[in-house]
Amino acid sequence: MLIDSRVASGLRDLTPSLAKPRERILDRFRQTFRGFGFQPIETPHIERKDVLTGKGAGSEEVLRQIFDVVNTGGTLGELALRFDHTVPLARFVSAHVNEIGLPFKRFAIGSVFRGERPAKGRFREFTQCDFDIVGSESIVADAEIVLVIHQALSFAEVPRATIWLNHRGLLEALLDVIGAADRGPAVLRALDKLTKAGRDVVLSELTNPEKGAGLAEIQALKVLEFVEQGKGGLGVLDRAEAVLGDRESARAALSQLRTVRLLLDESGVSEDAVQFDLGLARGLDYYTGIVMETTVNGWEKFGSISSGGRYDNLAGLFSARRIPGVGASIGLDRLIALLDEMGQLQKAAAHTGVLVGQFPGVPLEFPFRIASRLRGRGVQAECYPDPIPIGKQMAYGASRGYRFGLILGPDELDQGVFHLRDLTNRQETKGLSLAEVDEIVVRVLSEDPQGDAAAKAALKSRS
């Protein structure tokens, strides 16, 4: 009996049409992270369950979604699959702090797992790209994290992204102003729903004494007024200052946000690309300073594709040593889904390389050698394995994204000439020598405006 070949519920296979652009984007993320001196680390997909379920490690919802891992052949203790990269980072830093030293800048890219109810665009395994600067309280680190998000998304050709900044200290000061300083966590949880659930839901949650923050209506309205007027450029910070006065938490927060903006100016990041949103809450309790989210202009409803913030005690579950830090995460699957919906995903797939055709009567070693020779010049090249009709071979080449097909039949072999077909427009140049083939292929591919810059540079340097 045959076994069902479908993937398990809530999971998915990635065929090359998605896996190729993912790889290109991840390559560019890695290059960006490295450019700032972030170093890769890897932690196992499987963690001890007590690590993942420690106090504050994840919300109740996330803990319900944990996948346990069991090996029936042995007793390995209670294990589970990681649900993010932050808890493993905290454990990692505690375990290896003497080896790695502080400050420590790391990135981690890999799958995390949550047993969510399957829904469109929601999967139980997804890829997070995290980068953190651990062991420094300097605002330089905060600014650098924002700059990394900006550069990584730009380099990955994500169009028109806006990074939104807020600071926990501003809400703290606001609650002090309205006399509700002890309601911070509940207010944050309510505000976190503003974009998705709307004003009425948030107002009702802010005032609900049992399930919500229990504010008086007038307090709740002040909170809403504060955040609703709080989206935009530096003027937002001036307006906040007018409301919050010279409370210490507000002064420090505003100074930090202004310094970040100044440092980004120095790096050529436009005002539009990084703005302020005083309603930005980030549900998670462990943030203590700047918090950030990222949306694509015109696609705000899609939600954030990268978020993060500053925390003052990363590894409190594992160590008495207080280790502050700041970091962010790019949700690769959400980003890819968004680019796909925007029609941006396929655009960038340049045609490249050469498919070398195979003819009956032409000894195998000829096409094989020619493909090797092209690869030696930095050109992707593949020798079609079977001598099927040449039109079918060329159709395969076009479907695989090759730019050129190289045709060498028995007659051409006698004369020592080749036909080169451009698979994007079916134009054929006949009677070329091998040196002429090399020259045309390298020139066209290295000048292709859609081609990958690094690949083109390598092509030029090898030829």
List the interface residues with a copy of itself, window 19-38 (CB under 8 A): 19-20, 22-23, 30, 34-37
CB 328 within 8 A of CB 129: no
Total residues in contact with a copy of itself, by rule CB under 8 A: 118
Q: Does 443 bind a copy of itself (CB under 8 A)?
A: no
Q: Could you tell me the two tokens for 421? A: 């077909």
User: How remote is the C-alpha of 429 from its chain's centroid?
Assistant: 42
- Which of 404, 165, 188 is closest to 264 using CA atoms? 165
Which of 56, 64, 197, 443 is close enough to bind a copy of itself by CB under 8 A? 64
Q: Does 69 bind a copy of itself (CB under 8 A)?
A: yes
Q: Indicate the residue among 138 and 346 with the shorter CB distance to a copy of itself.
A: 138
Q: Does 98 bind a copy of itself (CB under 8 A)?
A: no
Shortest approach of a copy of itself to residue 383 CB, angstroms? 6
Contact partners, residue 265, CB within 8 Å, separation at least 6: none
CB 165 within 8 A of CB 260: yes
Which of 8, 119, 218, 435 is close enough to bind a copy of itself by CB under 8 A? 8
Q: Indicate the residue among 213 and 345 with the shorter CB distance to a copy of itself.
A: 345
Taking the C-alpha atoms of residue 69 and residue 262, their distance in angstroms, rounded to an integer, is: 48
Shortest approach of a copy of itself to residue 295 CB, angstroms? 24
- Which of 368, 349, 360, 328 is closest to 424 using CA atoms? 349
Q: Does 218 bind a copy of itself (CB under 8 A)?
A: no
- DSSP conformational letter for 85: S
The 301-330 site mask, x for binding a copy of itself (CB under 8 A), equals --------------x-xxxx----------
- Coil, helix or strand for 295? strand
Q: Indicate the residue among 55 and 301 with the shorter CB distance to a copy of itself.
A: 55
Stretch 33-62 residues interacting with a copy of itself (CB under 8 A):
34-37, 39-48, 50-51, 54
Task: From 271-279, 295-303, 392-400, 419-427, give the range in contact with a copy of itself by CB under 8 A.
Answer: 392-400
Q: Could you tell me the two tokens for 432? A: 């070329």
Taking the C-alpha atoms of residue 106 and residue 102, their distance in angstroms, rounded to an integer, is: 11
Contact partners, residue 72, CB within 8 Å, separation at least 6: none
User: How remote is the C-alpha of 461 from its chain's centroid?
Assistant: 31
Stretch 420-439 residues interacting with a copy of itself (CB under 8 A):
none
CB 250 within 8 A of CB 238: no
Q: Indicate the residue among 167 and 222 with the shorter CB distance to a copy of itself.
A: 167
Which of 273, 355, 394, 408 is close enough to bind a copy of itself by CB under 8 A? 355
Q: Does 121 bind a copy of itself (CB under 8 A)?
A: no
Cα dist. 74→48, 66, 70, 71, 280 in Å? 15, 21, 9, 6, 47
Q: Does 95 bind a copy of itself (CB under 8 A)?
A: yes
Task: From 4-12, 161-169, 291-299, 434-442, give the range in contact with a copy of itself by CB under 8 A.
Answer: 4-12
Stretch 223-262 residues interacting with a copy of itself (CB under 8 A):
259, 262
Handedness of CA 239, 242, 247, 248 (dihedral sign): positive
Q: Indicate the residue among 115 and 184 with the shorter CB distance to a copy of itself.
A: 115
